Amino acid sequence: MKLDRFYPIFDSADWLERLVPLGIKLVQLRMKDASADHLRAHIRRAKSVCADHGCTLVINDHWRLAIDAGCDYIHLGQEDLEDADIVAIQAAKIRLGISTHDKTELARALESRPDYIALGPIYPTILKKMKWHEQGIEKLTTWRNLIGDTPLIAIGGMRIDRAAGAFEAGADVVAAVTDITLNDSPDDRVRAWLAATR
């Protein structure tokens, strides 16, 4: 399954309902501290808008709810891997993406035979406090050589003007968060991303 080169990440179905219709074909719903009922409602809405627009939906972290909802894709961070039942995820025929930051984490991630590997933060990010400093664009090339044909996603501080460099360094996909959600015109920013990555 070939992934689209542009991968925005949003923290509510509201964003997806607004922006997926603009032409997004790969999107992640990443909601942290929410109740199960609240999450279910947002997953249901996200699935609906993605189905209507031929967009691949990735659910961050909440693998049990994703299985229950019949989702196609789950993304797990390294801390999420501790509790996740990879066998159950694979038995449910759900594709899996995993975050990595160093070679130990990469080796661990590859044991789960993921459908993509994410590396970040490539640049400094304001999204969350991380123990990892910026990885730098060169590390994408290192990862590319280590993971073979597994799709590689660049995340962290990504902007449109940085996308070409990430692709040249070996990334297949570029993920963006605050570059869209904190933009004065998220709709126009998404259109610009689509134009730059298609």
Give the whole-angstrom CA distance, residue 39 versus residue 194.
28
CA 162 to chain centre: 17
Nearest alpha-carbon partner for 5 in 146, 125, 154, 177 = 154
pLDDT digits (tens, 9 = 90+) for 99-149: 999 999 999 999 999 999 999 999 987 665 556 678 899 999 999 999 999
Residue 109 lies in a domain: yes
pTM metric for this prediction:
0.95
Q: Which residues, at least 6 apart from 159, have a Cβ–Cβ distance to it below 8 Å?
A: 176, 179
> How high does pLDDT run on average in the chain?
95
Amino acid letter for position 126: I
- Please state, in angstroms and as integers, the Cα–Cα distance from residue 180 to each residue in 25, 44, 157, following that order: 16, 23, 11
| pLDDT tens digits along 44-91 | 999 999 999 999 999 999 999 999 999 999 999 999 998 999 999 999
- Identity of residue 17: E
Per the domain annotation, does 1 fall within a domain? no
Q: How many CB atoms lie within 10 A of CB 103?
A: 11
Dihedral of alpha carbons 30, 33, 35, 36, sign: positive
Residue with tokens 């996740």: 84
Q: What is the pLDDT of residue 134?
A: 83
* Chain centre distance of CA 13: 15
Counting the structural domains of the chain, the total is: 1
Distant-in-sequence, close-in-space partners of 148: CB < 8 Å, separation ≥ 6: none
Q: Is 97 exposed, middle or buried (0-12, 13-18, 19+ CB in 10 A)?
A: buried
pLDDT at 128: 56
Answer yes or no: is pLDDT of 170 > 80. yes
Does residue 83 form part of some domain? yes
Q: Which domain holds residue 24?
A: 6-197
Within a domain: 99 = yes
Res 37 pLDDT > 70: yes
- Give domain status of residue 169, yes or no: yes
CA atoms of 48 and 117, how far apart (whole Å): 26
Structure confidence at residue 135 (pLDDT): 87
CATH number at residue 108: 3.20.20.70
